[in-house]
Amino acid sequence: MESNTQSPDIPKWSALLVEAVNKPGLILEAYNAFHRYSVGNQLLALVQCQLRGIQPGPINTFPKWQELGRHVKRGERALTLCMPITRKRRDENADTNDEPSREHTYTSFAHRARWFVISQTEGEELAAMPIPQWDAEQAVANLNIERIDFDSTDGNCQGFARKRQIAINPVAQLPYKTLFHEAAHVTLGHTAEGDFADGETTPRSLREVEAEGVALLCCESLGLEGAAYCRGYIQNWLSQGTGSNADAIPEKSAQKIFRAADQIIRAGRTEPEQSTEAEQ
């Protein structure tokens, strides 16, 4: 999600995340209005709407609105979202001389100003878009994560993650929050490096903040209990400072958090997904 051409009024992912941490309700509002888009883009869209006084609602590109029988009003300025761009690259380092150099495609991300909210358009009425249902077991299965029995004897432990397995304490105080947190450790690649048992004694490392950030985005987007706890945890961590990056989560961590939350939410949707921001 990097871009060299980022305009100055587009916040960094870390700034967007800190904004969401400090403003309860922002994530839910963004999800309700823009759930077809990635979690990062949802917040990006909402923040731009708020800055410009635009009523949040369905967003589409100029040609897509035309297809839907609406047109963008004169003088309206497009919203900027981050979109994947497929590029081609020739492989110059082929192993053998026999093979011709092959072409590889790869995806990078760039910010583009191409989207308009429904309130910036006029024309035919649009059918309301229902918010998709979400199922935890389906999410876990689609993420290729196995739920195992909770076998820890540590009374403080809420859950743990090992490789691609997670376990949630049957009497966990916030079971969904713990599920998202443990699934995040797996999705973020933390468990490839070691096991995670999460209790009161867990060190406040960056990995914990990443997992808790994912849990915050998931809990609040889906309206499940636990967002307030996550928020408090991250605010506490931020207020303690982290060396040279005293007031923000590292940009790379923020990107990872948005991506993992997006994967977990999409994996649990029980209704067919409509096209997303890949459309141009």
Q: How far is the CB of 258 from Zn ion (least distance, A)?
A: 18
**Structure tokens belonging to residue 23:** 């403003």
Considering the complex, state which of residue 65 and residue 196 has its C-beta at the smaller distance from Zn ion. Answer: 196
Stretch touching Zn ion by CB under 5 A, among 129-137, 203-211, 215-223, 248-256 = 203-211
Q: How far is the CB of 159 from Zn ion (least distance, A)?
A: 8
Stretch touching Zn ion by CB under 5 A, among 36-44, 73-81, 94-102, 198-206 = 198-206
Beta bridge partners of 115: 61, 79
Stretch touching Zn ion by CB under 5 A, among 51-59, 125-133, 208-216, 225-233 = 208-216
Radius of gyration (Cα) for the chain, nearest Å?
21
Total count of residues recorded for the chain: 280
Draw the binding track, 101-140, toward Zn ion (x: CB under 5 A; -: no contact). ----------------------------------------
Residues 6+ apart with CB under 8 A from 158: 168, 169, 172, 173, 174, 178, 181, 198, 199
Q: How far is the CB of 150 from Zn ion (least distance, A)?
A: 15
Considering the complex, state which of residue 179 and residue 222 has its C-beta at the smaller distance from Zn ion. Answer: 179
Residues 6+ apart with CB under 8 A from 27: 20, 39, 42, 43, 216, 217, 220, 221, 227
Other Cβ atoms within 10 Å of 205 Cβ, number: 12
Considering the complex, state which of residue 211 and residue 216 has its C-beta at the smaller distance from Zn ion. Answer: 211
Stretch touching Zn ion by CB under 5 A, among 73-81, 121-129, 202-210, 259-267 = 202-210
Q: H or E stretch including 63?
A: helix 62-67
Stretch touching Zn ion by CB under 5 A, among 2-10, 50-58, 93-101, 190-198 = 190-198
SS3 (DSSP) at 60: strand
Rounded distance, CA 155 to CA 172, Å? 10
- Which one of 16, 59, 211, 218 is in contact with Zn ion (CB under 5 A)? 211
Q: How far is the CB of 233 from Zn ion (least distance, A)?
A: 10
Q: How far is the CB of 272 from Zn ion (least distance, A)?
A: 33
Rounded distance, CA 257 to CA 176, Å? 17
Q: How far is the CB of 182 from Zn ion (least distance, A)?
A: 7
Which residue sits closest to Zn ion, CB atoms considered? 198
Rounded distance, CA 36 to CA 58, Å? 9
Would you count residue 210 as binding Zn ion (CB under 5 A)?
no
Would you count residue 198 as binding Zn ion (CB under 5 A)?
yes
**Structure tokens belonging to residue 255:** 């990107």
Q: How far is the CB of 180 from Zn ion (least distance, A)?
A: 11
Q: Where are the alpha helices (DSSP H) in 115-205?
A: 136-142, 175-187
Q: How many chain residues touch Zn ion (CB under 5 A)?
A: 4
Find where tokens 């077991």 sit. Answer: 137
Q: Contact residues for Zn ion (CB under 5 A)?
A: 196, 198, 208, 211
